[in-house]
Structure formats: C-alpha cells, structure tokens
Amino acid sequence: MSETTAKIRLGTRNSPLAMAQAYETRRRLCDAHGWGEDDVELVPVMASGDKVLDRPLAEIGGKALWTKELDYWLHEGHIDASVHSMKDVETLRPATLAIAAVLPRADTADRLVGAASIADIPEGATIGTSAPRRAAQLLHARPDCKVVSFRGNVATRLAKLERGEADCTLLASAGLDRLGEEGIGARLDPDTWLPAPAQGAIGIECRADDADTRAVLDAINHKPSYHAVMAERALLKALGGTCHSPIAVLTSAQDDVLALRCALFSPDGTERIEATHSGAANDLGWVAAMGDALLAQLTPGMAPHFGAGSH
C-alpha cells in the first residue's frame, strides 16, 4: 500500500452497492469530525463472494466469502476499518475484531420486482432468489410458485429477470435506495413479510485493540441501530443460524427496550413457527432464552436447519 496522509483508511468490497455504503460512511465521518474527503481513504477489495456467482453462497463457504479479504487486510494493518453490509457478516467473528459502529439503519423491507404484491404473482410463477429466508417465506405464502437460484449484485439480478430467467425477484429496499433505484419494485410491509436479520444496516469493524480508530468510529455510531443489529445477531447465534437457515426477524424499540419478532421456516416453506420476546437493549441475555424457546418449538422437518443440526 502506498503512503497516505488520510486520517483513516476504510476497506470495502468493490461492488457498486458496497462502494455506495463506503461513500455514506466517509460522508458521515467527515461531517462528524469536520474532515475533508481526502482525510478518509477508501480501499476497495475484491471479495471471494463477488467472484463466484454460479452457485449459492451456502455451497461455497457462506458469509465469510464477503469478509475474509477485508479481515486479512485489517489484521495486516493495511486498513484501519472495514465497511460491511451487516446482513452479510457471519455471526461468529474473530475476537480480535470489533463492530465499532452501525450507521442509522435504512429501510429493512424487501421489495418485490415483477409483481405488485405477493398475492399478484401469477399462478405457478418462477421466483429468482438465493436467500433461504426469501425462498421459504415465498413458498409459505405461495406454494404454487417455484424458486430458482439468483446470485450476483443488484444489476446482475435485474438483468437475469429482464432475460426471463424468472418472473419475479426479491431485493432489499435499502440496497435499491442506496443505488438510486427508489422506483424499482413493490415494497413488502415488514410487519407481514419479515426482513432478514440486520437487513438495511451498515456496520464498520476495526481491530478490537485499536482504541484510536474505535474512538473515531464511535462518533458515527447510531446507538438505536447498533442495539437492534446486535440483538438480531445475538438471536442468530442462539439459533445456530447459518446461510442455510430461513430466519426472519423484525425489531422494534421503545426507549431502552427492544422487542424481537422472529419467524423460522422449513426450507420448502411448508412449516413456520413464530415468537416475540422483549428485553433490555444493553443486556441481551434474554435473547439467548428466546433462541432456546424457538428451538424447543422446532418440528422434525425444521430441526436440521437450526441449532446443532445446522452445522
């Protein structure tokens, strides 16, 4: 790496959406500290997950494919912090790294592209998605439909839809908004179509022992978003959730109390269980109990995809 006079070096994947998230992080850092853009150096890294697009993520190494290159650059000191879409960050992270900030969370909803609503999807339609949650939720609501694998960035998936590889697809509202695609797709109400854990949240990670960088990042940490994301990640951990696990969760907050509403599905969508628990935002011990309660409800068809059975 060349010498830099920047005050902080931010690593990011180099996909269009990841770069948009890095630009937002830089803007917030500059606003918080009175810096110019040159004070924040963006360091794009090609992630493994962006290279292999012909197979589902779960088959080729899971969420670590989005983080391992950035983790290496952090450990080696080539960057001071890395910008992540928190939905893509694996639940168990190295103890040497810390999620130091979460930016104000964007819309958590999914958007349906190709039909005005789930009910309006044509009978027997093909839906393109590689997300187990979206596939299971869709098949639960519309068992007449068929799901085919869709991977790649937003533009790639929209191009596949345009070529007729599927009739509809599902995309994160936050990602579309960050790419300036506010007009694409029909927003699905998160109260009825529960989002993915940590969807819509941008997180910044640094070395756990780097007090200076942690202090710089703390200035842009949005506490309500941080608490909600950390609770959802704690629930994922309690459920033994992996890339294969269809888990949907919606968090609401009232002062310092969080309420987590979680639905688990069998991959084919035929089975669904749901629970809502609440507790203190700054003491997440109750989330583990929520995970245990959900795991105790699992049917034989669901059990292999959660807890010890999913690993």
pLDDT above 50 (res 119): yes
Report the share of the chain in percent with pLDDT over 90: 81
Structure confidence at residue 61 as a pLDDT band (50, 70, 90)? very low
Q: Quick check: do 110-187 and 237-310 share a fold?
A: no
Handedness of CA 243, 60, 47, 161 (dihedral sign): negative
> What are the boundaries of each domain within the chain?
8-104+201-221, 110-187, 237-310
pLDDT value, residue 54: 53
First to last CA, the chain: 38
Q: How far apart are CA 103 and CA 226, in angstroms?
A: 8
Q: Which of 71, 80, 88, 167 is catalytic?
A: 88
Q: Helix, strand or coil for residue 282?
A: coil
Check: CB of residue 103 under 8 Å from CB of residue 220: yes
| pTM of the full structure | 0.91
What's the CATH superfamily of 8-104+201-221?
Periplasmic binding protein-like II (3.40.190.10)
Q: Known catalytic residue: 144? A: no
Please tell me the CATH code under which domain 237-310 is placed: 3.30.160.40
For domain 110-187, give the CATH superfamily. Periplasmic binding protein-like II (3.40.190.10)
For residues 205 and 217, what is the distance between their CA atoms, to the nearest angstrom? 9
The predicted structure's pLDDT at residue 279: 98
pLDDT at 227 over 70: yes
HSE at residue 196, side-chain half, CA atoms within 13 A, is 30
The whole-angstrom separation of Cα 188 and Cα 129 is 15
- The tens digit of pLDDT for each residue in 14-32 reads 889 999 999 999 999 999 9
- Alpha helix segments (H runs only) across the chain: 16-33, 64-75, 132-141, 154-162, 173-178, 211-218, 223-239, 285-297
